[in-house]
Structure 1
């Protein structure tokens, strides 16, 4: 079970735990700073509104536990709120505007650059943030010269053999994937008796999709009566454990790779 701010990761890799002197003396040439960005928004009747932020913090904690202690990878306090206006008006949803979230992330990046850091990873666990963070990443690169990375752990293909094909395509919110992870990392926060299955009726369309070929703008109450998309009834804590084990294995290696990446290597003549 995930416990916030406990364990090796938070004791040895939580940047704000250090003093200004310690941070000033850190070797920053190969240092990677990780900013987790989630959301506080409705996830149906069975899941906490903090689901996305919770998954982000829990995943980072486990990944850092697997990291070689010598790696210069640092975590800063997460941004728990995201751009969640697709859920606005549904109880429990707290959304930042695109401009506000962009401003916060850019200000954090500028502050890190002023302290001498060269690499920033935007670690995202909310689908509604993805397009915006792609834009923000380039804006930060241009404004600060930092190397900026962004990823969503759900994109690491750690569950393709655990989920039904319909779930893999349409289970984008509060379904099997997220519910399984939450049941693993914080089981007391999941009210299993309220789990449901709801899928969008997209079979009549050849090209129109929610998130791939041709997309359309939607609010959650346009496409779901329950507030979820997916099959939460298929979720198990064991699936969640397997997903987290796979994802954090990948992330521990990826973080080390990002800390060594130099963008000017692309211009070197072979």
Structure 2
């Protein structure tokens, strides 16, 4: 399935330069850039989880609008801002300024092919502020382009209660949400017999509770302060069936975002 996604009809990497130019110069064109991370996800999920999922959702959403919207998805930006995971090992992190530079350079050079809309599809919570700032920087430098960014898992907020079984704190890092998606998309990479995790125990009432229950207060701690294994949540409640439902609904939500971006380029 990984190969099929890389070579999908909307994959920038599978196109020739002439094909990219033909798509980009259409007045309604949208460029999608997935942004992930390489960071530990406990003992049961691979370190590329955030990158794999952002890339998969980006392709699904783009494929669902491709008949109506000239659109391409670049290869993912695979390293993000993950200093809080470094001490547990397995993590490759950029400095925040370097990530901003990477996002700006990737977007700016890709936009030279004529695209009128841009959407970063982020898969790592630690990247969210960087993506927001990149949107502002790139938008300022490219005033004729509709520049946007979205953290894909936040698109699940309207429907998540129809699918989740875990209590608040069970859909955090490597929990029910991400593990279900990975079981659906990349089951050969998931080691359920090593799914050792615990619910998020956030001491601040106004802090974030899990991927889909946020809070106004941010703080910094190395990840082992929350979890011995490096995973937080309830992966034992994960299933490929839930992952399929999540993936399908996320594809619909992102497709709606991408259609709206294209409409704003008119």
Superposed pair shares fold, TM > 0.5? yes
Deviations 1:67-88 (A, max 9, x none): 3424211111111111111101
Deviations 1:47-77 (A, max 9, x none): 1111111112222233333334242111111
CA-CA distance at 1:257 after TM superposition: 1.8
SS of corresponding position for 1:225:
coil
Cα pair distance change 1:164/1:185, threshold 3 Å: same
Cα pair distance change 1:14/1:206, threshold 3 Å: closer
Alignment-derived partner of residue 222 in structure 1:
225
CA-CA distance at 1:108 after TM superposition: 1.5
Q: Partners of 1:184 and 1:208 in 2: how far apart?
A: 30
TM alignment of 1:1-270, pairs within 5 A: 2-4=1-3, 6=4, 10-26=7-23, 27-145=25-143, 146-156=145-155, 157=157, 158-164=159-165, 166-167=167-168, 169=169, 171-202=171-202, 205-209=204-208, 211-262=214-265
Q: What RMSD over aligned residues (CA atoms) do the two structures have, in Å?
A: 2.1
Preserved CA contact (<8 Å) 1:121 1:149: yes
Cα pair distance change 1:67/1:174, threshold 3 Å: same
Cα pair distance change 1:222/1:16, threshold 3 Å: same
Deviations 1:16-35 (A, max 9, x none): 43333333333331100000
Q: TM-score, normalised by structure 1?
A: 0.87
Cα pair distance change 1:10/1:71, threshold 3 Å: farther
CA-CA distance at 1:89 after TM superposition: 2.6
Q: Partners of 2:10 and 2:140 in 1: how far apart?
A: 28
Deviations 1:199-218 (A, max 9, x none): 2334x654454641322222
Cα pair distance change 1:208/1:178, threshold 3 Å: closer
Q: Partners of 1:68 and 1:61 in 2: how far apart?
A: 10
Preserved CA contact (<8 Å) 1:73 1:259: no
SS of corresponding position for 2:148:
strand
Q: TM-score, normalised by structure 2?
A: 0.88
Preserved CA contact (<8 Å) 2:175 2:197: yes
SS of corresponding position for 1:150:
strand
